[in-house]
Amino acid sequence: MMIDLQYIFTLLLDADFWLASINVVTLSILTWGAGLLLGLCLALAKESSTLAVRKAAEVYVWFFRSLPLLVLLIFVYNLPQLIPQLQGALSNPFAAGLIAMIASETAYMAEIYRGGLIGVPKGQQEAGRALGIRYLGRLRLIVVPQAFRIALPSLSNEFITIVKLTSLVSVISLNELLLVGQRLYTQNFKVIDTLIVVALYYVLIVSVFSFLVARLEAWLDVSLRRQKQTLADPSLPIENATPTASIRPLRKLKTSLVIDMHGISKSFGSKRVLNDVSLDVHEGEVISIIGPSGSGKTTLIRTINALQDIDGGAIVFDGKPWLGAPEGHYQMAGDFHSRIMDIGMVFQNFNLFPHLSILDNVMMAPIYHRRGNRDVIREKALAALRKVDMQSHANKFPHQLSGGQQQRVAIARALAMEPRIMLFDEPTSALDPELVNEVLRVIEKLADEGMTMVIVTHEMRFARKISDRIVFMENGAIVTKGAPESLFGETDSRLAAFLSQA
């Protein structure tokens, strides 16, 4: 049997095939687009803390992944026999095929998205919470962009699967490529020749889309981007920028209470990590919290900005109720979300947003909270970067910086919100020894300017130099606290034994 090349070339220009190709492309794009949106919603539902929502999403995914698409297509197309009111909508093969394919693909794409959501580090959510960004804002600005980038290769592969699955819609008489080919070879019996043409059309569609997705993946991959030489506004080069706005200086006053914690308790199962802890922080004061690993240091400072709930006790912030657990019921102040911006936090692992430039990292929270127009916010962001000597890196991405540089950017990001108090959770523990000093110098500079700070640290010499008070914790309780001169002078105490090993 010989292949009829002239027949094949003729079909490559056939109007019916091109119209069928348009149907395939349209059906595929609409299915994929709807699946992207609905699949994301379904994936978020599967991750919901609400049991009913989570179970409903799980049942949907289980059912439609179990149901063959061919069965679903025939069922949807014949559904008007059961519900006559659907006759108008589902009598059209294209509409019936689209609904069936969306219902099926949403379940598969939800699982792809869920893999992407799981791939976003937990610290990204916590960084957003520390900046006062609410759940939907965190999804829109932080989580979904990163999850989409992680899931994109699998999502693009799913489009190719959708293109091929459109051939099944021929069973409900949609004028797609396979149906056109079937009509031809039943008339001329050139089955192989016709199917070669059908295959070529499918390959063409998939190749064009694969090229477009590859370009999209390259655009989303920040590791492939080159550093820009100037900011978005070319009239203001980074190196010579002189912002009119600045981070407000704080005088070192020790009269008013900024944070007042009393009776704070927290347990994880049977393990009690905080045991009736009380601590007050005055304005302009620098407090270092030290102690062995597992003593409750990090848990304690995370209760201040509600990254960790409490089982008992209360926290007062700026003289007003802030967080508490009366009768074991955790409660936040009614104005929590409007005041959380006054508490800045720097994490051990930086938690910069990898999909954003350094400048955009610093600008995100002020823009979200509408702290001024974009130009004003940009100037303040530059001022914050200048304070930590990172303004020349404003157009880079986090992966292009060293650990010490990333931590300085994290400090600038917190400072850009002009907080009343800064929390540092072991800010140098993830750094190489040669990078520690550059971060400590920035923190020391903030202390000299009068910034109120609570620092969890293992850097004993630094804590002694910078602190107004040092708090020593062990087994979830404060063992002792006081001025560095008095505590570091002790020779016969549990603290002295700890310091001798530090």
Share of the chain above pLDDT 70, in %: 93
Domain identity same for 178 and 297: no
Domain identity same for 195 and 318: no
Domain identity same for 181 and 262: no
Residues in the chain: 502
Each residue's pLDDT tens digit, 34-76: 999 999 999 999 999 899 999 999 999 999 999 999 999 999 9
Each residue's pLDDT tens digit, 249-302: 444 545 789 999 999 999 999 999 999 999 999 999 999 999 999 999 999 999
| Core vs surface per residue 41-74: b (16+ CB within 10 A) or e | ebbbbbeeeeeeeeeebeebbeebeeeebeebbb
Question: Is the pLDDT score of 247 beyond 60?
Answer: no
- Chosen domain end from 192, 220, 248: 220
The domain that holds 425 is classified in CATH as 3.40.50.300
**pLDDT value at residue 489:** 78
- Chosen domain end from 196, 220, 244: 220
The domain that holds 122 is classified in CATH as 1.10.3720.10
Domain identity same for 111 and 50: yes
Amino acid at 289: I
102 located within any domain: yes
Each residue's pLDDT tens digit, 389-439: 999 999 999 999 999 999 999 999 999 999 999 999 999 988 888 788 899
- Tell me if 488 sits within 8 A of 499, measured CB to CB: yes
Distance CA 447, CA 475 (A): 29
Domain identity same for 193 and 96: yes
Phi, psi at 477, each rounded to 5° = -135, 155
Domain that holds residue 280: 257-351+419-501
Domain identity same for 199 and 261: no
Domain identity same for 185 and 307: no
- Tell me if 4 sits within 8 A of 159, measured CB to CB: no
Pick the closest to residue 264 from 245, 277, 279, 280 (CA basis). Answer: 277
How many domains, in total, are found in the chain? Answer: 2
Q: Beta strand 343-346 with 331-332: parallel, antiparallel or unpaired? A: unpaired
Each residue's pLDDT tens digit, 318-376: 999 999 998 889 999 999 999 999 999 999 999 999 999 999 999 999 999 999 999 99
- Chosen domain end from 220, 247, 274: 220
Question: Is the pLDDT score of 203 beyond 70?
Answer: yes
**pLDDT value at residue 199:** 92
**pLDDT value at residue 307:** 96
Question: Is the pLDDT score of 237 beyond 80?
Answer: no
250 located within any domain: no
- Which of 151-160, 246-255, 436-445, 454-463 bottoms out in mean pLDDT, i.e. has the lowest? 246-255
Domain identity same for 313 and 432: yes
242 located within any domain: no
Handedness of CA 367, 372, 375, 379 (dihedral sign): negative
398 located within any domain: no
- Tell me if 71 sits within 8 A of 100, measured CB to CB: no
**pLDDT value at residue 244:** 43
Helix (H) / strand (E) element for 162: namely helix 144-165
Q: Could you tell me the pLDDT band of residue 232, with boundaries at 50, 70 and 90?
A: very low
440 located within any domain: yes
391 located within any domain: no
Task: Order across the sheet with 320-324: list the strands.
Answer: 271-282, 257-268, 312-317, 320-324, 331-332
**pLDDT value at residue 8:** 87
Alpha-carbon dihedral of residues 88, 91, 95, 97, nearest 10 degrees?
150
392 located within any domain: no
Domain identity same for 264 and 339: yes
Question: Is the pLDDT score of 492 beyond 50?
Answer: yes
3-state SS class at 476 = coil
Domain identity same for 128 and 71: yes
Domain identity same for 92 and 186: yes
243 located within any domain: no
Domain identity same for 209 and 263: no
Distance CA 76, CA 58 (A): 22
Residue 288 β-bridge partners: 455, 470
Question: Is the pLDDT score of 309 beyond 50?
Answer: yes
Question: Is the pLDDT score of 234 beyond 90?
Answer: no
Question: Is the pLDDT score of 226 beyond 90?
Answer: no
